[in-house]
Amino acid sequence: MTDAYVSRETPTREEDDPPLAMEALRAVQILNPSGVVTMPRPDHTRIMCVANQKGGVGKTTTTVNLAVALALHGNRVLVVDLDPQGNASTGLNVPHHAGIPDVYDCLIDNVPLSDVAQAVEGIPNLWCVPATIDLAGAEIELVSVVARESRLSRAIAAHPDTFDYVFIDCPPSLGLLTVNALVAAQEVLIPIQCEYYALEGLNQLINNINLVRQHLNPTLDVSTILLTMYDRRTRLADAVEQDVRNHFGDKVLRAVIPRNVRVSEAPSYGQSVMTYDPGSRGATSYFEAAQEIAEHGVKGGKA
Ligand SMILES: Nc1ncnc2c1ncn2[C@@H]1O[C@H](COP(=O)(O)OP(=O)(O)O)[C@@H](O)[C@H]1O
Ligand SMILES: [Mg+2]
C-alpha cells in the first residue's frame, strides 16, 4: 500500500512523472514555441487509420496526441473523426454539436471534406473533420449508397490541400465506417492496451485488414503498433509487451505510453496532454512516438 501513501503526499503528480528540471526542458521541446524542433515531413501524404475494434484501448487519445505532436513540429495534419461519439472532436475542442457540418455529410451527401474541416484553435497546421451524433446513422445508411466502402477515400482524395498526415480515428467496431477508414488509408496504426486480453480480438481486426487488402486496397500496411496505458508496476504489462513485440517485431514503436492521469484529464479541458501538461510522462511518450513515426516516414522503411 506504499503507492497509496505516495499519492496522498503528492496529490497532483504521478509517481513516475519526471523531475521538474527535465520536465521543463521537455515541455519547451514539446510546445516548441520557437519552431526550432522539427519532425521530418514525409514526401507523400501518410494516411493512417487508427483502428482496434475494442473500445477504450487509446485510439482517440493516440490520434489526438500524435496529431498535435506532429503539427507542433512542422507537419500539416488532418484528423478525421470517424466515431459517432465524437471524442476526437471533443479532445481537439472542435464544435461538433448537432447541426454542425460533419463527416457524415461527406460520406452520405458528398459534401467536400474541405467544407467541413475546422482549424484546431491554438495549434497551427492542424485541422479536424468533426463527427456529430448524425454519424450514428451512417453505418446503416452506407449500406445502400454507391461505392459504400470507398466514400471516405474519395473525399480525402478530392481535398484540395496537401497534408503530411491524415489520421482517421475509428469507432470500436469493424463495420462500414472502419472499412471506409481501411480503404482510405495506406497504413494502419493499432493501439494495444497493455492488459491481459490485449491480443484477443486482434485476429478479427487482422482478418478484416486482409480482406480489405485482397479486395479493395492492395497496399494497405499494418505499419505501426503502439502500446498504451502501460503500468510498469505490474508484471503483466511487461509480459504483454514481450508478447506483442514477439508477434509484431519492429512494427511496435519503441516508445510505450504509460498509464498517466494527465492523459485522461486533458480532454475535459478540450486539450491534448501535449498542451495540458507537456512535461508529463504522457506527453513526453506521445512526443517520442510521434518522432518515431515521422522518422519511419522518411526512411521509406515502413511508410
Ligand atoms: N495513457 C493513458 N493514461 C491514462 N488514461 C488514458 C490513457 N490513454 C487513454 N486513457 C483514457 O482511457 C479512456 C479510453 O481511451 P480512448 O482513447 O478514448 O480509447 P478508444 O478511443 O480506443 O475508445 C479515456 O478515458 C482516456 O482518457
Ligand atoms: Mg475513441
* Residue 34 included in any domain: no
* Band (21; pLDDT cuts 50, 70, 90): confident
Whether the predicted pLDDT of 301 surpasses 50: no
* Residue 22 included in any domain: no
Look up the CATH number of the domain holding residue 123: 3.40.50.300
The residue whose CB lies within 8 Å of the most ligand 1 atoms, and thus the one to mutate among 193, 264, 284, is 264
pLDDT reported for residue 18: 81
Q: Check residues 75 and 16 and name the one with the higher pLDDT.
A: 75
Q: DSSP letters of 51-108?
A: --SSTTSSHHHHHHHHHHHHHHTT--EEEEE--TT-HHHHHTT---STTS--HHHHHH
Residues 178-205 have a mean pLDDT of 93
* Band (13; pLDDT cuts 50, 70, 90): low
Whether the predicted pLDDT of 3 surpasses 60: no
* Residue 126 included in any domain: yes
Residues 187-198 have a mean pLDDT of 92
* Residue 112 included in any domain: yes
Contact status, residue 78 vs residue 129, Cβ threshold 8 Å: yes
* Residue 79 included in any domain: yes
How does pLDDT run across 86-104, given as a tens digit for each residue? Answer: 999 999 999 999 999 999 9
Residues 66-85 have a mean pLDDT of 98
Nearest C-alpha to atom 12 of ligand 1 is from which residue? 56
Ligand nearest to the CA of 269: 1
Residues 124-132 have a mean pLDDT of 97
The residue whose CB lies within 8 Å of the most ligand 1 atoms, and thus the one to mutate among 15, 54, 61, is 61
Ligand 1 within 6 A of CB of 214:
no
Cα dihedral 255, 174, 103, 64, rounded to 10, equals: -10
Residues 120-138 have a mean pLDDT of 96
Residues 10-37 have a mean pLDDT of 82
* Residue 276 included in any domain: yes
The mean pLDDT of the chain is 92
Ligand nearest to the CA of 260: 1
Question: How far is ligand 1, taken at its centre, from the CA of residue 66, in Å?
Answer: 14
Quote the DSSP letter at residue 17.
P
Where in the sequence is the domain holding 127, given as residue range(s)? 41-299
pLDDT reported for residue 17: 75
Ligand 1 within 6 A of CB of 91:
no
Residue that has been written with the C-alpha cell 514555441 in this structure:
33
How does pLDDT run across 133-191, given as a tens digit for each residue? Answer: 999 999 999 999 999 999 999 999 999 889 999 999 999 999 999 999 999 999 999 99
How does pLDDT run across 218-266, given as a tens digit for each residue? Answer: 999 999 999 999 998 888 899 999 999 999 999 999 999 999 999 999 9
pLDDT reported for residue 195: 86
Share of the chain above pLDDT 90, in %: 84
Question: If we measure between CA atoms, which residue out of 64, 61, 296, 39 comes closest to residue 191?
Answer: 61
Ramachandran bin of 102, using left for φ above 0, alpha for ψ from -120 to 50, beta for the remaining angles: beta
Maximum Cα–Cα distance for the chain, whole Å? Answer: 60
Question: How far is ligand 1, taken at its centre, from the CA of residue 146, in Å?
Answer: 35
What is the CB-side half-sphere exposure of residue 143 using CA atoms within 13 A? 5
Ligand nearest to the CA of 58: 1
Question: How far is ligand 2, taken at its centre, from the CA of residue 231, in Å?
Answer: 20
Q: DSSP letters of 185-252?
A: -SEEEEEEESSTTTTTTHHHHHHHHHHHHHHT-TT-EEEEEEEESB-TT-HHHHHHHHHHHHHHGGGB
Ligand 1 within 6 A of CB of 86:
no
d(CA 280, CA 32): 15
What type of residue is 120? V
- What is the domain count for the chain? 1
* Residue 16 included in any domain: no
* Residue 80 included in any domain: yes
Contact status, residue 162 vs residue 76, Cβ threshold 8 Å: yes
Nearest C-alpha to atom 27 of ligand 1 is from which residue? 264
pLDDT reported for residue 300: 54
pLDDT reported for residue 212: 97
Question: How far is ligand 1, taken at its centre, from the CA of residue 243, in Å?
Answer: 21
For ligand 2, a single-atom ion, the residues with CB < 5 A are 59-60, 87
